[in-house]
Amino acid sequence: MTKNKFTLRRAINNMNLVRFRFWFQIVAFVLIVYGGYVGLDLGDKLPTFACVYNGEGTGGKCYAGMLQHDLKHPIDMFMGYAGYAFLISLGMFMVWFWILNKGWCGFVCPLGTMQDWLTILREKTKIRYSEYSWANRGKIKSIKYILLILLLLLPVMIANSVFGLPKLPNGLSMPFCDICPGRMMIPAFTGHFNQFYIDFSSKTDLVMTTLGMIIVGLFLVGSFVKKRFFCYFCPMAALQHIFSKPALLKLYKDGAKCTKCGDCYRACDMDILEIADDVTSKNLVTEDCTLCLKCVAACPEEGCLEANFAGLSIFESTKEGFILRMAMDQHKENHAH
């Protein structure tokens, strides 16, 4: 029994994470984008971009849309049943989120998956990747919080006069959905290109839908040259980070075992420096982390990095796993040549 358990653990630690993640993402993508056609309905509080505009195909819906909807109530109604509905939705979002933590971004998010596919395409075409300038990294990181604040504030300001300011037009009721590239890209996978449009019905709609079109253009080119281009600006990532602490899935680091070789940093799609540099913190799920676990797979130190689910180590760095994965990469490279 002990031997079997040991073997299973070894098999997991030695697995080809890139391949496992690639197929996991495909399954998640199919369930979320096409699940509705077979009756799958995971509700409308998913902590990932399962787009409500995907019509009948969607197997579940994104909480960002529900959050904007829940906040668009006059204050007296919000203090009543609308407020309860908001709390229930938020609670359900947290329950979903606490299961996978930011693993929703790394393994489930259809928009993240699309970006990973574009990265694969770039690698195949041997085009060099780009990086965000380190001088502007702080500003780039703050964009998602600004977007989150706007996402929360604008719907409130439609139904209420905040600080005596006039109420905002109804065209801003789903401000983030208007500019989210998922609104155009996800329905496109079910053959519906009807979200690629510019709305001329009002000035607000014109501005918001034009912004949406600009952002989807930036998303497609940006994700091609920069890994996880959009995730740096994602307000869902900012919202998730607020509730990340009690989540079940964690990324732990044993700083005493770290040699600061930097392999984990180089493997990270989000260029998170702390993963290599921080030897004092135990939990390393940062605001930008997508819990893709590539750092764990790239780490050559025994037990230095581990993915931990509810106190149970489910995937950890091992010397053997590192050597095997290096050999797999070498084999793949030789095969390609």
Partner 1 sequence: MKQIIIAIFLIISLGFVSFPLLADDSLWLDEVKKKSCCTVGGKKLEAKEFQIKKGTLADNEKIRDLKDAKIYIRNTDNQITEQNLSGEKISFVPEYKGNYHLFFEQKRVQDEVLQVNFSSLRIYNKEGNISKSLLKEIRGKTNDSHYGLEPIAQWPFQIIMERPIRRHHINCCLYSGDIAPFKIYYQGELQKNIPLRVSTESGWNNDVKPDEEGVVSFEIPRSTYTSSENEKKHSEKMIVEATYEVNTSGTYEGQPYRSVVYVMSMPLSFGASPLEYESRVLGFATAIGVMLIFSLGLYYNRRRKRKTPKEIYFDEE
**Least distance to partner 1 from the beta carbon of 236, Å?**
17
Pick 18 or 261: Cβ nearer partner 1 = 261
Q: Residue 143 CB: number of other CB atoms within 10 A?
A: 14
**Least distance to partner 1 from the beta carbon of 91, Å?**
8
Of 152, 142, 118, 310, the C-alpha closest to 229 is 118
Pick 210 or 313: Cβ nearer partner 1 = 210
Cα 313 versus chain centre, distance? 22
Contacts of 244 (CB under 8 A, 6+ apart): 101, 102, 285
Pick 13 or 180: Cβ nearer partner 1 = 180
Contact track, partner 1, 83-122, x by CB under 8 A: -xx--xx-xx------------------------------
**Is residue 59 involved in binding partner 1 (CB under 8 A)?**
no
- Rounded to whole angstroms, how far apart are CA atoms 287 and 4? 37
**Least distance to partner 1 from the beta carbon of 261, Å?**
8
Binders of partner 1 in range 278-337 (CB under 8 A): none
Pick 182 or 315: Cβ nearer partner 1 = 182
Q: Residue 282 CB: number of other CB atoms within 10 A?
A: 12
Give the DSSP letter of residue 312.
Answer: E
Which of 189, 265, 308, 309 is in the footprint of partner 1 by CB under 8 A? 265
Of 202, 209, 206, the C-alpha closest to 183 is 209
Contact track, partner 1, 184-223, x by CB under 8 A: x--------xx-xxxxxxx------xx--xx-xxx-xxx-
- Rounded to whole angstroms, how far apart are CA atoms 31 and 223? 23
Binders of partner 1 in range 36-55 (CB under 8 A): 36, 41-45, 52-53, 55
How far, in Å, are 179, 201, 210, 211 from residue 205 at the CA level?
A: 11, 7, 8, 10
- Rounded to whole angstroms, how far apart are CA atoms 319 and 206? 56
Pick 210 or 308: Cβ nearer partner 1 = 210
What would you measure as the largest C-alpha separation in the chain, in angstroms?
A: 70
**Least distance to partner 1 from the beta carbon of 241, Å?**
23
Amino acid at 106: G
Give the DSSP letter of residue 166.
Answer: P
**Least distance to partner 1 from the beta carbon of 10, Å?**
29
**Least distance to partner 1 from the beta carbon of 9, Å?**
29
Element (H, E) at 276: helix 274-277
**Is residue 6 involved in binding partner 1 (CB under 8 A)?**
no
Give the DSSP letter of residue 292.
Answer: -
Which one of the spans 81-89, 103-111, 245-253, 290-298 is the region binding partner 1 (CB under 8 A)? Answer: 81-89
Which one of the spans 8-16, 114-122, 124-132, 282-290 is the region binding partner 1 (CB under 8 A)? Answer: 124-132
The footprint of partner 1 on this chain (CB under 8 A) covers a number of residues equal to: 57
Which of 38, 273, 310, 327 is in the footprint of partner 1 by CB under 8 A? 273
Contact 320, 300 (CB under 8 A): no
Contacts of 97 (CB under 8 A, 6+ apart): 47, 104, 240, 243, 247
Answer positive or negative: Cα dihedral of 186, 192, 198, 204. negative
Q: Which residues are near partner 1 by CB under 8 A?
A: 36, 41-45, 52-53, 55-56, 60-61, 66, 76-77, 80-82, 84-85, 88-89, 91-92, 128-131, 184, 193-194, 196-202, 209-210, 213-214, 216-218, 220-222, 225, 259-262, 265, 273, 276-277
